[in-house]
Structure 1
Amino acid sequence: MPVATACPIALTAAERVRLKKMAYGYKVEHRLRVRAQIVLHAARGRSNACIARETGLHLDTVRAWRGRVAHGGLPALADRKRSGRPARFTPVQIAEAKALACQLPAETGVPLSRWSCPELAREAMQRGTATFVSASTMRRWLAEDALKPWQHRSWIFITDPCFRTRAERVLDLYARTWQGQALGEDEYVISADEKTSIQARCRCHPTLAPGQARAMRVNHTYGRGGALAYLAAYDVHRARVFGRCEPRTGIDPFTALVAQVMSQEPYASAKRVFWIVDNGSSHRGQKAADRLAAAFPNAVMVHTPVHASWLNQVEIFFSVVQRKVVQPNDFTDLTQVGDRLRAFEDRYNATAQPFQWRFTTSDLDDLLARLDRHTADHQAKSSTVLAA
């Protein structure tokens, strides 16, 4: 019987370069590298038996890939599409597992505060959703919809009846308007608050600087050197900070901060200086506004809504202080804490730019609308539970 001849393969220069990179590249998968070597040998006119001896492959393997490339070109080197293993879980089972993750454990009678993947897998099996499902499978299902029931965020209902009115005034000031009128060049907006209980923790061993493949090391044990309060006033549009350290917060320390700012230019001779504050005890209510106006006639106190300190831009500056000055806390005494804070003020004021505040009154309306819908849904759900 006649002997079947090997399929001839002719390569272009570009195909040969591509195959060489594939055959000798150290990042190429082993299966692709072997297939590329078979094709290169075949393009040189070598027989299948010779290629099998040189590559250590079975003759049938060489014959198969040589034939596939001869008829399909280089794209035939890739694996063909396969049906794969049949799915072990139906879409209904996966949907039921995800629905379980979207329920609070207390609603299902499980004595847990929040779900974990092993607990979800165990509960799904107990409910008969699946005979067996592993925690890793459950984790993969939840990742498809970015569900993370083991995480939680705290939030609070709006209780201030004048929330929108007060929040709108603050947002208008950030946009340099007041009662529908644009602010003048001699009108300023100050955001002020206190950062309480900044401790001086003296580490029992010196902090070690970072090194190669090693993070900075801070000793866990420390001695307490007391605590102080840091009061700051932030000029919203000029990005300038005025701060002072006090043993504690209160009316007198806050008044001292106001006097520190209002006694210097351009605030002393300004037409109006708006002070945005929260509802802390140092500056709460109309009495605090009257006290400020009596001491400085050109000062106007504007309160944020209750539980809305996030509208106060000085809180952003405090977060910067926390990250860059306070943490990790390693100070010998309170004097060093105060010196570090004052030095940071000078450094910050030298290069600071105003915060890019993007939350507007339109965003406020959208937020309140979402909260109203959420409140209505919550009340409807509570009514249904009580009726049942």
Structure 2
Amino acid sequence: MVVAGVMACAVRVTGSVRRLLIRRSRGQKTPYRDKIRARIVLLAAREWPNTRIAAEVGVAVDTVRTWRGRFAAQGLAGLVDLPRSGRPSRFSAVQVAQVKSLACQLPADAGTPLSRWSCPELAREAVAQDVVEAVSVSTVRRWLAADAIKPWQFRSWLFPRDPDFATKAERVLDLYDRRWNGRRLEPGEYVISSDEKTSIQARCRCHPTLPPGKARMMRINHDYERGGALAYLAAYDVHQAHVFGRCAPSTGIVPFMALAEQVMTTEPYASAKRVFWVVDNGSSHRGQAAIDRLAQRFPNAVMVHTPVHASWLNQVEIYFSVLQRKVVSPNDFTDLIEVEHRLGEFEKRYNATATPFDWKFTRNDLHDLLDRISQHEQQQNTTEQNAAA
């Protein structure tokens, strides 16, 4: 008696699909399971029987039969794994939400003597508060990452407390936009942004610094000997992108006036109609006395103060940040003479290629910022009043 065998599914592969399956079967970065499935389909298209394909590929006959049948019925879509329910979750959505809520609270509010939460501390606190019986640190980290919650990070802010903040800030922003008192600056008028970078130390490392190499970053010895510190004073021409700098043992009125002398005796500033000096409220140039002192020495100089606690409006701070990244850090100088020489040489290098900073903060941005701060203060006052009631 002869028993008829079961016929294998006929598989047809067109040119574009064949090329894709060949790339999958040969790709070095293709997942192994996709390689196997592509080889099964390609051999099936050559009318090989399932037993021969299984022996060639090294899988069970049932595996060949499964993927051959799925491709015959659905094409390439049949080679994708079907959705799986997976293992049931150990934690409910309410428990996950409670842990996230805990992460969004200050530790002190929960009676925990910490300044910031970390994932291990959150896992421990969730167990202590009976939110969960047990939870791993990696699970807590995955929950927080889903909503980009990072309680270990923080940013500080400062409310403007200068009563004339808006007026002073607008004057500085107008100067950056080449305007003063509603009029455009003339060709013979310049804007200088000036400040001091204090306490630049000379740290002589106890062992030589090792340069970077293959698969190795630069290495700086932690131990050092102090070689003193100095102050670096800089005046930055906002629209010409030119820096004037000088070093001094410390900051003060005398070093600042020496910087002003260095700039104002140089052309084109010496013969300029007006030179506006944007400065913060540091002790070297604070108040009306500093304005009068500069105007008395240089009649064409006009000192303009930024608001209190608003040094971010002073463009020379951007130059100082560049200086910190490219010259000062990591600090490895034999003495103050080397520090002063390096600062001077970088100043020349910077002036040779510098272009003005792309300052985008305008009057409209300032008004939006002050409106947001005002709304925040109103909400805070309302909250405090409701809490008191």
TM-score, scaled to structure 1: 0.96
Read off the aligned partner of 1:203 and give its amino acid letter.
R
Residue 180 of structure 1: CA displacement?
A: 0.8
Shift of 1:129: 2.9
What pairs with 1:225-264 in structure 2 (closer than 5 Å)? 225-264=227-266
User: Counterpart in 2 of 1:122?
Assistant: 124
In structure 2, what residue type is equivalent to 1:11?
A: V
The structural deviation recorded for 1:81 is: 2.3
Deviates more, 1:62-71 or 1:275-284: 62-71
Q: Distance in 2 between matches of 1:158 and 1:254?
A: 26
Q: Tell me, in whole angstroms, the C-alpha distance in 2 between the residues paired with 1:377 and 1:136.
A: 37
> Quick one: distance in 2 between partners of 1:14 and 1:304?
67
Q: What RMSD in Å do the two structures reach over aligned CA positions?
A: 1.5
Question: Which position in structure 2 is the counterpart of 1:7?
Answer: 9
One of 38, 41, 61 as aligned partner of 1:39: 41
Query: What do the CA deviations read for 1:168-197 (whole angstroms, capped 9, x no partner)?
Result: 111111111111111111110000001111
> Offset at 1:386?
4.2
SS in 2 for 1:113: coil
Mapping for residues 49-88 of structure 1, pairs under 5 Å: 49-88=51-90
2:209 alignment partner, one of 190, 207, 229? 207
CA distance in 1, matches of 2:147, 2:62: 45
Q: What residue number does 2:301 align with?
A: 299
Match of residue 193, structure 1, among 187, 195, 203: 195
Q: Which of these residues, 334, 337, 341, is aligned with residue 335 of structure 1?
A: 337
Q: Deviations over 1:147-168 (max 9, x none)?
A: 1111111222221111111111
The alignment partner of 1:198 has SS state of strand
Q: CA deviation at 1:385?
A: 4.1
Take 1:16 and 1:373, find their aligned partners in 2: how far apart are those partners? 63
Gaps spanning 5+ residues in structure 1: where? none
- Aligned mates of 2:378, 2:9 — CA distance in 1: 74
The one-character-per-residue Cα deviations of 1:87-139 (angstroms, maximum 9, x if unpaired) are 43333332222222111111222221111112222222333333333222222
Deviates more, 1:197-206 or 1:13-22: 13-22
Q: In the alignment, what sits opposite 1:324?
A: 326
SS in 1 for 2:290: helix
Deviations 1:47-106 (A, max 9, x none): 111122222211211111111112222221111223333343333332222222111111
Note the alpha carbon deviations across 1:337-370, whole angstroms, 9 max, x for none. 1111111111111100000111111111111111
Q: How does 1:105-144 map onto structure 2 within 5 Å?
A: 105-144=107-146
In structure 2, what residue type is equivalent to 1:45? E
Distance 1:376 1:244 in 2: 46
Q: 1: distance between equivalents of 2:388 and 2:287?
A: 39
Deviations 1:314-357 (A, max 9, x none): 01101111111111111121111111111111111110000011
In structure 1, the partner of 2:367 is: 365
| Equivalent-residue separation in structure 2 for 1:78 and 1:96 (angstroms) | 36
Aligned to 1:353: 355
Write the distance in 2 (CA, Å) between the matches of 1:10 and 1:155. Answer: 66
1:19-38 pair list within 5 angstroms: 19-38=21-40
- Tell me the alpha carbon deviations over residues 206-246 of structure 1, each in whole angstroms, 9 at most, x when there is no partner: 22221111111222211111111100000000000001111
**Could you tell me which amino acid in structure 2 is paired with residue 274 of structure 1?**
F
User: What is the Cα deviation at residue 12 of structure 1?
Assistant: 1.7
In 2, the alpha carbon distance for the partners of 1:269 and 1:190 equals 15
Aligned counterparts of 1:193 and 1:30: Cα–Cα separation in 2: 62
Distance 1:216 1:121 in 2: 37
How many Å separate the matches in 2 of 1:23 and 1:141?
Answer: 37
CA distance in 2, matches of 1:339, 1:277: 26
Distance 1:324 1:197, change over 3 A: same
Stretch deviating more after TM superposition (193-202 or 4-13): 4-13
Greater displacement, 201-210 / 309-318: 201-210
| Secondary structure, counterpart of 1:225 in structure 2 | strand
Q: In structure 1, what residue type is equivalent to 2:37?
A: R
CA change 1:274–1:263 in 2 (3 A) is same
SS at match of 1:323: helix
Cα distance in 1 for partners of 2:88, 2:208 equals: 60
Q: Which amino acid aligns with 1:72?
A: Q
Q: How many angstroms apart in 1 are the aligned matches of 2:36 and 2:222?
A: 55
SS of equivalent residue, structure 2 residue 322 = helix
TM-score normalised by the chain length of structure 2:
0.96
The farther-off stretch of 109-118 and 187-196 is: 109-118
CA distance in 2, matches of 1:380, 1:111: 29
Distance 2:363 2:179 in 1: 12
Higher mean C-alpha deviation, range 121-130 or range 285-294: 121-130
CA distance in 1: counterparts of 2:202 and 2:125, whole angstroms: 48
Structure 2 counterpart of 1:225, which letter? G
Percent pairwise identity: 64
CA distance in 1, matches of 2:33, 2:322: 52
